[in-house]
Structure 1
């Protein structure tokens, strides 16, 4: 009997243990890098190094909520950087398998100021692309598959993809916070995070093979809005030398501070927080509560601050006082925004550094039944990153034409990142020469067969305008 029991126990243990063994991931091929805060352990695969969940600032929680990003606390030993940390707090579907409109599902956290770094193995002095994700300023994450930096790395570029604070935890001003830390800038915490990222890149990216003197900032939608605003923030000057804005020009004036405070007070009343709330009261509200509240979740936009954000980028452009670097800007055929992109290119390229204008016109064959008016918002991402197989938009449904164009477009984006200082044009895509835009000039049309220059004037702002112009 004892032998039978032992046999059954052994069999049961085998049944339990075997599935666990089968589900274990393969061991990583680890690689260590020394940063100012400590040693990181990343992974190596096919000549590409990836470091996930890299902290660039202290967690913005507790007393650090609604304060400028604080320095990372140095750690002892080797810190694993082989898995992504949770995205910033945002509204998600109760079904954890369903992504929100920013591409995020599952757990999130207010402790979210982390980077993903993808670099060529053995790189030295490689140009750097710092990527700010989209998501209407209250959704999204830098770790999504569409932003995979592998193709960039294989072309010799280090990619740094960023999480920045979202919603009311990012864009929020309130009278109760004014008296605390009076020497610190108030509001615009996502932008303050963005400057902190660029400072981190300046101080650490050489350890990953990157050149801190060759940094391009780039973003799409809300991330493009981050880039747009960085062009007029004094503390960002000298931290980057080129800029890419995809479907997110957002050349808007800042929201007056008093108006933003009033909007915050009114929104807080919907969750039972009165106008007399103290700073401790506000910091006692859970991050999830902000994300769940429709009046609060999106935040209250960018606000003026004399010490950090003394002007808007549209005002700086009109005065000729923006941070003058080469700019690549455009939009997709099936969305609005081309007129804004053209205005941006005209203002940025009127003197000094050149501006390059594009419109993305390729609709994948598997999307033709849905995108009847052309490629929609975000459609260009898996092409600019050449990330079809990592993106939820592509994968097996993509055909040879999609893959060929993705390779070409990624080559052109990388060519801009690598463009020599002082250059007025650059080549990519089997001999295509991308010329800068001046008012009344040409745009680069990105079509199924590749890129071509064409007159920009007369192109509609988006599909609605195109329909209105039709007979």
Structure 2
């Protein structure tokens, strides 16, 4: 009798198990998971074939189909990346890594029909990060009626190596930018398949933070991505100097020259030999050789420096939401120069570096608190300048652009001197107050006030994805940047304002313009690390 009872109980359990949600896309049928709120999640969907063997360092090839129902309940492996340092604030190593990593995940709200779509591109300096990280759980965004797609793309040397041998193989005579080509392939997949999940392929917003924000800018600039999205969100993006494929520019060697150096270091006489090097060896060793992961101006994926593309108004003309955080550099101290010993040493270095711009610099970043001035100058020269430049150039192109300045902090972050640190807005944008975060992340308090700020940010972001205008009920109207230089501050609550950090954008624009005219690099050469800033006033196109 006991055995019969067990068999009956097991049979009833199977009968009571919920039927997994299924969708049919061009490749075949998928079975996913239904969350408690009715959101359907489909994980680990391949959008391109594994870029291994002869396909390593080749543009992505669309994934084929399958027979039967494919299990889409588990995330795919992360793309190859070095292990993080255990004490890093951002330590968040994936459970599995592989070159076979070109997959994406879809969160579809209950009953979705022609819902707006957000395509999330993770950050990590183009060398780390993965879509399955708990900090990118998109359930709460989807609950606002938005289909969310998170994308994985090749990272580091496997995603961005340029090399003469690779250019010779290419019909476009180009190499590098494979990670960007992956993102474009994923956007094509979204256009072809998102309707099956209840999404509207004609209403797609690309969204990313840090290197994901850089990727958003690259997609805005790339002629290959035009028409694949209708809006863009760039959080803490940075408009760097990019290497050119075959020539040295702005003090940086040609990307192919760097690739040749890498091949020599690995004792690989040709691309076939380099493809034979194990992926983990390439990924772990390349940074120690001085290889810096960057997109390349290759004449195909990217035709110009980002600054030139936006100056010419050749970027995609779509609504934009962009911003930066007050404490960006507090968690990225490696981007800042060493702190001078005292105000006198600080001011001496600034005057030596900036010459006829020194007074203007010291007015913005005085020696009264040297550490704070170093952090603020570095923040503004990288992230603040980029965010406001995006807002200004998109406005000049006739598009609504919405600028934000994230200043919110909380006790756990304050105790570590991490007020409004780089990426600290992500748990608020994703609605993860009280959820699991990376092990070293200072956790926001689980209070109504913190949830309220998070709810407001989700509302602003998702209404922007829906309509191109960010709104949050019960909170200030967010005006486009425009002539008033409007922006939204996120403190303990949203606060509307105009002219964020007065003077910082004009000053940094002047410095970058002078460097461009003198064929100098711009990015982290700021403040006491600036070196000799050109003394000829800017006469560039952006003025």
TM (norm. structure 1) is 0.85
Instruction: Please point out which of 272, 279, 290 is paired with 1:287.
Output: 279
Match of 2:360?
Answer: none
Instruction: Please point out which of 264, 271, 278 is paired with 1:269.
Output: 264
Q: What are the residue-to-residue correspondences of 1:182-201 with 2, within 5 Å? A: 182-183=171-172, 185-201=174-190
1:459 Cα shift? Answer: 7.2
Match of 1:278?
Answer: 270
Gaps of 5+ in 2: 1-15, 248-253, 329-378, 509-525, 528-543
The reply on whether 1:40 has 2:30 as its aligned counterpart is yes
Return closer, same or farther for 1:255/1:38 CA change in 2, 3 Å cut-off: same
Moved more, 245-254 or 344-353: 245-254
Q: What are the residue-to-residue correspondences of 1:67-82 with 2, within 5 Å? A: 67-82=58-73
**Contact 2:105/2:150, CA 8 A, preserved across alignment:** yes
Q: Distance in 2 between matches of 1:33 and 1:252?
A: 43
Match of 2:422?
Answer: 377
Match of 2:219?
Answer: 230
Gaps of 5+ in 1: 1-25, 467-471
**Secondary structure, aligned partner of 1:356:** strand
Aligned pair count?
A: 429
Return closer, same or farther for 1:378/1:94 CA change in 2, 3 Å cut-off: closer
Higher helix share: 2
Q: What are the residue-to-residue correspondences of 1:431-442 with 2, within 5 Å? A: 431-438=475-482, 441-442=485-486
TM (norm. structure 2) is 0.74
Match of 1:354?
Answer: 400
Q: Distance in 1 between matches of 2:107 and 2:436?
A: 14
Return closer, same or farther for 1:401/1:120 CA change in 2, 3 Å cut-off: same
Instruction: Please point out which of 327, 331, 339 is paired with 2:385.
Output: 339
Return closer, same or farther for 1:455/1:58 CA change in 2, 3 Å cut-off: same
CA shift digits 1:13-72 (9 cap, x unpaired) = xxxxxxxxxxxxx96751111111111111001210011101111111111111111010
Instruction: Please point out which of 193, 197, 212 is paired with 1:204.
Output: 193
**Secondary structure, aligned partner of 2:477:** strand
Return closer, same or farther for 1:102/1:242 CA change in 2, 3 Å cut-off: farther
1:190 Cα shift? Answer: 0.9
**Secondary structure, aligned partner of 1:343:** helix
Q: Distance in 1 between matches of 2:74 and 2:34?
A: 13
Return closer, same or farther for 1:384/1:58 CA change in 2, 3 Å cut-off: same
Q: What are the residue-to-residue correspondences of 1:287-436 with 2, within 5 Å? A: 287-293=279-285, 294-295=287-288, 299-335=292-328, 336=379, 337-371=383-417, 374-388=419-433, 389-392=435-438, 393=441, 397-419=445-467, 425-436=469-480
Return closer, same or farther for 1:398/1:459 CA change in 2, 3 Å cut-off: farther
Q: Distance in 2 between matches of 1:219 and 1:300?
A: 17
Q: Distance in 2 between matches of 1:348 and 1:369?
A: 38
CA shift digits 1:424-452 (9 cap, x unpaired) = x5431414211111356222101102332
**Contact 2:241/2:305, CA 8 A, preserved across alignment:** yes
Instruction: Please point out which of 162, 178, 186 is paired with 2:167.
Output: 178
Return closer, same or farther for 1:28/1:107 CA change in 2, 3 Å cut-off: farther
**Contact 1:91/1:100, CA 8 A, preserved across alignment:** no
Match of 1:31?
Answer: 21
1:306 Cα shift? Answer: 2.9
Instruction: Please point out which of 176, 191, 206 is paired with 1:217.
Output: 206
